[in-house]
Amino acid sequence: MKLLTIDVGNSSIKVTKISMGQIESYVRLNDRNFAQQIKFEDIYAVIIASVNPKVLKLVLAQTQKRFQGHVFQLNYQSPFSFTNAYRPPATLGIDRLCGAEGAAFMHRLTGGSSDDTIITVDFGTATTINLIEQNAFIGGYIIPGARLSLKALSQDTALLPSLDMKGTIPEEGTDTRNCMVSGVVLAGVALVEKTCQTILAKQGKEPEVFITGGNADYFLPFLKHRYTFVKELTSLGMFSVGMKLLELNEK
């Protein structure tokens, strides 16, 4: 059974074909006629998650026009593998939920227990760190992503330059450019490391860490804690929930 997941983000639409939990294809598209670039012929169901309401309307309209099978739109009440202990539950972003589901899905595949602590890190437009303890999503941290942080520094100061993330990133900055870029990256790294240390001190056991996100390549070289990088982590979570929805729908 092949499912298509459509992850509508803040800056792009990520489309993934998944069969039996295995990624067959993954592509980033924009919101202009995105459905024309997708082949729906071998798809059994489409799973959609969105943090962008404006683009979601377009995605739903185009998908329903070209695909006649099951179309599920995920929300915080969808059947995830863990309980939602966030407060209030409806304010928890669907992207964070799906990323956590993807981590839980992969953790189960490798023989992990539902009682293990899982940390997911999404280095995207925002950097989000999410905690799953005792099979419950309890919260985490949200900070500006790398590019967003650099943009804020240049816009809200008189003398700091406008920068991108191109080039090397040293551990210590020796000029303005490197001080800004290194500071932004290492601040994110430090928060991840501190989160892992806190869990270890509290539970006496290291958490399982899963990392994803379009900016991850800037941060990964500096991380000391053991981690698993999965580019399609959110998509795998959407697949996992989609399979549960299909099972419920066919009862």
Positions marked catalytic: 95
Q: With beta carbons less than 8 A apart as the criterion, state whether 81 and 104 touch.
A: yes
Q: With beta carbons less than 8 A apart as the criterion, state whether 140 and 128 touch.
A: yes
Residue type, 32: R
Burial of 73 (0-12, 13-18, 19+ CB in 10 A): middle
Residue type, 57: K
Residue 19 falls in which region: left (phi positive, over 0), alpha (psi -120 to 50) or beta: beta
- Measured over the CA atoms of residue 105, residue 111, residue 116 and residue 120, the dihedral's sign is negative
- Residues with Cβ within 8 Å of 67's Cβ and at least 6 positions away in sequence, in order, are 40, 43, 46
